Chains A and B, each alone.
Chain A
Amino acid sequence: MRTRRVHARCFAIVGRMSRAWGARVAAASTAVLLTGCATVPADPDGTLERVQGGVLRVGVTENAPWVELSDGGDPSGTEPALILEFAERLDAEVEWTPGSEATLAEALEAGELDLVIGGFVEDTPWTELAASTRPYVEAGTAEGNDKHVMLAPLGENAFLVTLETFLDEQAVS
């Protein structure tokens, strides 16, 4: 729905340009705009496209109150709640994978997961293996303020920006 609207805007620009610049320039711009306009930034491995209408594979590691795991049931806590909302936006089913931070970060790097949550903070040590989102919430602790982030696959920038945009909206409302 949203994508279609952006495409429509692209065509409007191309239409105006073709009058001004002649057919060859317009053809070239059409090519650029069709590939670029709706999808900057794009995912090298197409994570966002695959997740939309499909499955969002989320790694969860116990860290109350952000993520709480229970035997047999789905994880609970503030972050799983956010992710369920995010998945709904993308029309995706969530598939939870519990594990330690290290195994989840490696699975993310290997492309086996799309997202890892577990109350990670801004200075997370996993930035070699994962792309951290911008901090989406601050929480006071004994040592000061913790800025919380989630981990996305490295370089899947469309997915990362979509997730960050979603988290921004949650903070506002």
Chain B
Amino acid sequence: MSPRFGRTELPERQAEALRTAVRLEWCTLASLAVAVIMVYFVMGSSQAMRAAWIEDLLSLAPPIAFLLAVRLVNRTPNRTYPYGYHRSVGGGHLVAGVALCTMGAFLVYSSAVGLITAEHPPIGSVVLFGQTVWLGWLMMGAMALTIPLPIYFGRVKMRLAEELHDKVLYADADMNKADWMTAAGSIVGVAGIGLGLWWTDAAAALFIAASILSDGFKNMKAAITDLMDTRATTFDDGRPHPDAAKVDAYLESLPWVARAGSRVRDQGHVFHVEAFVVPHRGMMPTLTELLDARDGCIDLDWKVQDVVLVPIDELPEDVGGPDRSRQSERNR
């Protein structure tokens, strides 16, 4: 089974990146499972620890979404799914974003209440190898253990997300960053309790909850806008994706094309391109010219997968044509 995104066979570089990403996501799942179990046993009644634990639990979602999506998009488009299975990425992304948002809001509320009502979190002791040990030490130790791996995972995934143009992987890398910051925050919270400052725990929990909420909001917004077919953007939603301009420039370089403008939407990994082309002097191109133009577009980038060329007398307004001429309306 050669790795592919729908109809697109991946180039060697991307295929390698995909294999690495899949391996990395399995490692992430394994390390998160260990962290979730470990933190559960030392959680006690620290709010910061509880928030960190919930965040660890929620960060299981993006790797699972990624692994599922990679399997699904491997199928080729068919009669029932004429655009392929790429949007499964968007669906997973949305679910993860909403889950994060809800949990973040709940945790912000509960830690704010804890802070306002001045709850003093009790952290007692445990017996470890016949010694009575303050549970706070174990909490800090467990959280410290969960710091190094997410830093490493996050960095590698960020690079792979760009290579593969995978927004779920990007969201995951972002969450790994939040993960280790969360762990550091809860260490500070518990250490504060150790020094007799009751409020550090709730304050750390509030900080962690706010980061979960903002993560969730960012992801939910990105997933919704992608499902609404905003113009294709780069993997981090930082700027419009350069492929759209490349397609237009390539088409306009063809001898029979006067003007070209395209609508590019991100299907998840790959782009669906509708390119409007205005031929010189209203002369229709030959079928061969059209087919060559289409193949030329596809050769520009592996992400350009599904190209529809539409010869037309005047460009619609939304792709740079004159006013009042829209694709949804009949031309004058």
Write the residues of chain A forming the contact surface with B, with a CB cutoff of 8 angstroms.
Answer: 35-36, 39-45, 131, 133-134, 152-158, 160-161, 164-165, 168
Contact = CB atoms under 8 A, between A and B. Distances in A.
A156 B119 CA distance: 11
A154 B132 contact: no
Contact of B126 (A41, A131, A134): A134
A152 B122 contact: yes
Contact of B122 (A42, A45, A131, A165): A131
Interface stretch (B145-153, B192-200, B324-332): B192-200
Interface residues of B, number: 19
Contact of A154 (B120, B125, B196): B120
B1 interface: no
B287 interface: no
B127 A168 contact: yes
A157 B127 CA distance: 15
Contacts of B197: 44
B124 A42 contact: no
Contacts, number: 71
> What DSSP secondary structure best describes chain A's contact surface?
mixed
B242 to A, nearest CB: 50
A161 B122 contact: no
B3 interface: no
Contacts of A36: 194-195
B123 interface: yes
Given A44-B120, A154-B119, A168-B132, A161 B125 contact: yes
Contacts of B194: 36, 40-42, 157
27 contacts: A40-B136, A41-B196, A42-B195, A44-B120, A44-B196, A44-B197, A45-B120, A134-B126, A153-B120, A154-B121, A155-B119, A155-B120, A155-B121, A155-B122, A157-B122, A157-B124, A157-B136, A157-B196, A160-B122, A160-B123, A160-B125, A161-B125, A161-B132, A161-B134, A164-B124, A165-B132, A168-B127
A131 B124 contact: yes
A152 B136 CA distance: 17
Interface in B172-204: 193-198
Contacts of A152: 122
Contact of B124 (A40, A44, A45, A160): A160
Nearest to B190: A41
B132 A164 contact: yes
